[in-house]
Chain A
């Protein structure tokens, strides 16, 4: 008891400071200081990343040689199939253009303006999965913008912005939830959530969902545009009597190893608090 008495003044002061810091963080008082601090840490980040990323890559590759060989063989086959599919799609697109021209339809501009950014940090603390990118409000990024991989798969959303950096909450973060749907699933949808083991589950899933189905953003709630690919269904558990089956989803992109991401600059998230989004 004597031990605790000696620390009581300090503990009290620290609890008070913690509350103060929590409030300051919520109202954004710390943002200017954070911007300056991130500038100071930038050179150290470069040094650490330059030294340790190749080492991690080497260790990772050494332990996964057999897996990589098998994956390479599978990807070759998949690549061939995709090339064939692409050729078919190009023919279809050409045919659609001809039909649209014949019907006099004007095609809207569906292109998205994207900004490339490098991943400079990753914070994998318990129950959270957040990356930091080297673009901020100086580049036009605002809170809520959607971030994808270089191939266009959903990675997360911007949750905090400083002049030169932005924090992106990944879809595997346990606080993340995304209204998602099954591609071509005729109304099959649910809410995609991250789990503590950095896996994804489709909660409140309804409709006919099968292993191998592609999950995309549903576009509901205003936090994400419709149709961004997210992942593939890897398991569906539960009997026919279960109200909602347990659906596990594997992200299309390897979130942990991404070094470059794209920010959708042309999509402005709605500010309505609908419960969807980060």
Chain B
């Protein structure tokens, strides 16, 4: 049931990415709603749903926009790995801090991959503009939206999940 909920959330995020997000730009940048939804799935349902939602989200956003779904998939790949690396790292980070760090890292990686893909497709190699016009405002709006979603979900009692993939749990949570 929870898996269906996340599937619906990713579907709506893909549609909202091309209908709602462009209406509210911050310094010209827009949030990556599908990526944010995958990060929230990682935070509240663990890595297994993320491993399914990542290709689905990339495919759905690729369909509804004119983006290359393959490139989107590569851009979203770091979410699952980053979450697990942060959990295994010898850092005194709580669940919220890990979620924020994972979202920041994944947002940074996704935007960089998408920008490099665009540059390989003919866009000028403007790395200064990538940092100033894309990364900084984009990550800021991602964090604001994450806070708007994460805090209420914790307040209504949703338990944070571990990010580490455990043996024997590939299909247990589906």
Contact = CB atoms under 8 A, between A and B. Distances in A.
Interface stretch (B58-66, B92-100, B143-151, B152-160): B58-66
Contacts of A45: 15, 18-19
Contacts of B74: 14-15, 18
A21 B134 contact: no
Interface SS, A side: helix
B1 interface: no
A25 B51 contact: no
A56 B69 contact: no
Contacts of B121: 175
B84 A6 contact: yes
Q: Which of B65, B130, B138, B164 has the most CB of A within 10 A?
A: B65
A175 to B, nearest CB: 5
B19 A49 contact: yes
B19 A7 contact: no
A163 to B, nearest CB: 14
Nearest to A34: B63
A38 B74 CA distance: 23
B71 A128 contact: no
A191 B127 CA distance: 21
Interface string B33-76: 00000000000000000010011001110111111111101100
B126 A196 contact: yes
A145 to B, nearest CB: 15
Interface stretch (A119-127, A134-142, A227-235): A119-127
A169 interface: yes
Given A130-B66, A175-B123, A195-B124, A121 B18 contact: yes
B165 to A, nearest CB: 5
Contact of B28 (A6, A21, A175, A197): A197
A33 interface: yes
A204 to B, nearest CB: 13
Given A6-B165, A52-B23, A17 B81 contact: no
A176 to B, nearest CB: 9
Contacts of B25: 124
A37 B14 CA distance: 12
Contacts of B174: none
Contacts of B104: none
A195 B129 contact: yes
Contact of B69 (A10, A21, A130): A21
A3 B64 contact: no
B106 interface: no
Contacts of A127: 114-115, 118-119, 123, 130, 134
A7 B83 CA distance: 12
B77 A11 contact: yes
Nearest to A256: B22
A37 B66 contact: no
A174 B164 contact: no
Given A48-B20, A132-B18, A22 B68 contact: yes
B62 A21 contact: yes
A206 to B, nearest CB: 19
A25 B15 CA distance: 19
Contact of A3 (B18, B85, B118, B134): B85
28 contacts: A7-B165, A15-B74, A18-B73, A20-B70, A22-B71, A23-B70, A33-B63, A38-B63, A44-B15, A45-B19, A48-B15, A55-B23, A56-B24, A59-B24, A120-B19, A121-B65, A122-B18, A123-B65, A123-B67, A125-B114, A127-B119, A128-B67, A128-B123, A174-B123, A174-B126, A175-B123, A193-B124, A196-B126
Given A20-B70, A52-B24, A195-B124, 7 more contacts: A19-B70, A41-B14, A121-B64, A124-B22, A124-B25, A127-B119, A198-B28
Closest 10 CB pairs of A and B: A22-B70, A174-B123, A127-B118, A56-B23, A196-B129, A21-B70, A121-B18, A123-B65, A167-B66, A18-B70
Interface of A: 2-4, 6-7, 10-11, 14-15, 17-23, 25, 30, 33-34, 37-38, 41, 44-45, 48-49, 52-53, 55-56, 59, 120-128, 130, 132, 159-160, 167, 169, 174-175, 177, 193, 195-198, 256
